[in-house]
């Protein structure tokens, strides 16, 4: 996802993914944000780790605030980037 939707910072041989920026691919950024909004709208009765994180963020920031959708979209972008880079499949209950 190099320069598609997240800011990538290279320091000391390590790659750090930053915030979602507006310099990348507009379609991918829009899809990530729309997907995040759909997840936020449907996580009300779920009890998995991500849904609990989203509900806590919505409670602190409010449902209509863009920060919640952007936070989830950035998290999903980092997850997608890591999966593509490692060539592994997504595991729902994976905790490092």
* Cross-strand pairs, 9: 16
Report pLDDT for 1: 42
What's the rounded Cα separation, in Å, for the pair 67 and 65? Answer: 5
Rounded alpha-carbon distances, angstroms, from residue 92 to 3, 7, 77: 26, 26, 16
Q: Is residue 6 predicted with pLDDT exceeding 70?
A: no
Report pLDDT for 24: 63
Its pTM surpasses 0.95? no
pLDDT digits (tens, 9 = 90+) for 27-84: 788 888 899 889 888 888 888 888 898 888 888 887 776 678 888 888 888 888 888 8
What's the rounded Cα separation, in Å, for the pair 96 and 78? Answer: 15
pLDDT digits (tens, 9 = 90+) for 14-23: 766 666 656 6
What's the rounded Cα separation, in Å, for the pair 96 and 82? Answer: 13
């Amino acid at each position: 996802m190099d320069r598609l939707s997240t800011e990538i910072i290279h320091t000391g041989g390590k790659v750090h993914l930053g915030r979602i920026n507006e310099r990348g691919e507009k379609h991918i950024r829009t899809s990530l944000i729309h997907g995040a909004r759909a997840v936020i709208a449907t996580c009300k009765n779920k009890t998995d780790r991500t849904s609990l994180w989203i509900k806590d963020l919505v409670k602190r920031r409010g449902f209509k605030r863009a920060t919640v959708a952007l936070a989830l979209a950035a998290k999903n972008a980092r997850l997608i980037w890591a999966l593509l880079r490692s060539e592994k499949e997504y595991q729902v209950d994976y905790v490092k």
